[in-house]
Amino acid sequence: MAQGKLQLGDSVIVKPNVEELDLNINIGGWQGRVAEIEEEDGLIGIDWDSLSLKQLSDKTIVYCEVEGLDWARVYLAPEDVEQTTARDSVDDVVKAIEDIESKHDFTWTDEDPEESEEIDRRIQAVLDNAEDESEEAAFEVWQEYLEDELEFPFEAEIFECQEEGPLQEGDQVTVVGIYEDDDEEYDVFDDDIEDIYGILVSLRHGREKYEFPLCDLEVLDKSSDNYQPVKDYAIWFANR
C-alpha cells in the first residue's frame, strides 16, 4: 500500500525487527490502528488490533499492569510502521480487550477481590488528605502518612530488578528512616526525583549506607505493622 502521511484511524503494520523497548519484545509484523499523533515528539500512538492483542503473553500483560504500562497501545516513530489494510474490526478489538480483562480480573493484587477492595480503601484514605489532585500533593500526604505509621529501623528486601548500582534484587537491608537531605535546596518532590524514584529512605546494607526508593522495598516481617503501609505505597506508586 502506498505510504502517505498517517492519519487517525489508519491501519498500520510494524516493520520487521522493531522492538518495544519497555517490554523488550520484537513487535515486527504486529498491526493496529493510529489512535494518537503527538506533534511535539513526533510519535504515534497505535492501538493493537485483536490479532496482535492475542499475541501478548500473560506474563507481559501482568507486567504492564504492575508497572502501569498500557498493554493495548504502543508509541512508535512513524518510520517504524507502514500503512496496511485492516484485518479486523473495532468491535473485534473491543471483544479481545474484554476477554483479556475477564481472564486476568485486574485488581491491585492477585489476591481475592475483597482484599483488593481493602487496598483501594486504604490507598484512597491516604489520598483523601491531599490538598489537590496533583501528584506532588499525593507524594506529600504519602510521606506524612509513612512518617507517622512506620517504626524504624526495620528489615526489608529489594524486590525490584535494579539496572545499576551496588544494591540488587534480593538484597536484604535495614531501613533506618525516611531520607532527609540537609541541603536546603534539595526537594524530594523535584520532578526528576519524584517521577523516577518517589519517596527515598535511608538504609544500611552491611557497613554501607544508601538512599533508596521505598517503592522497590518489601518489609521482611509480614506480620509487622510496617508491612502493609509500605506495600500499599508501592502498589500506589506503580499504578499512579
The three three-digit cell numbers of residue 159, written as one number: 524486590
User: What is the spatial distance between Cα 152 and Cα 143, in angstroms, rounded to a whole number?
Assistant: 14
User: What is the spatial distance between Cα 23 and Cα 56, in angstroms, rounded to a whole number?
Assistant: 11
Taking 70 as the pLDDT cut, the residues of the chain under it are 1-4, 66, 104-114, 161-163, 181-196
The answer to whether 19 and 26 have CB atoms below 8 angstroms apart is yes
Residue 145's pLDDT is 96
The answer to whether 83 and 108 have CB atoms below 8 angstroms apart is no
How distant, in Å, are the alpha carbons of 38, 142, 153, 170, 184 from that of 207? 48, 29, 15, 17, 27
Residue 188's pLDDT is 41
Residue 193's pLDDT is 44
User: What is the spatial distance between Cα 211 and Cα 213, in angstroms, rounded to a whole number?
Assistant: 7
Residue 4's pLDDT is 62
Residue 133's pLDDT is 79
Residue 16's pLDDT is 96
Q: Which of 22, 100, 118, 111 is nearest to 67 (CA)?
A: 22
Residue 163's pLDDT is 67
pLDDT tens-digit map of 100-133 = 887 765 555 545 556 777 887 888 889 889 998 7
User: What is the spatial distance between Cα 26 and Cα 47, in angstroms, rounded to a whole number?
Assistant: 16
The answer to whether 164 and 232 have CB atoms below 8 angstroms apart is no
Q: Which of 7, 2, 54 is nearest to 31 (CA)?
A: 54
Residue 80's pLDDT is 96
Q: Which of 19, 22, 23, 28 is nearest to 82 (CA)?
A: 28
The answer to whether 50 and 95 have CB atoms below 8 angstroms apart is yes
User: What is the spatial distance between Cα 220 and Cα 240, in angstroms, rounded to a whole number?
Assistant: 24
The answer to whether 174 and 143 have CB atoms below 8 angstroms apart is no
CA dihedral 133, 135, 136, 140 (to 10 degrees): 80
For cell 525516611, the residue is 178
pTM: 0.53
Residue 101's pLDDT is 83
Q: At what angle do helices 113-127 and 135-149 cross, to 10 degrees?
A: 100
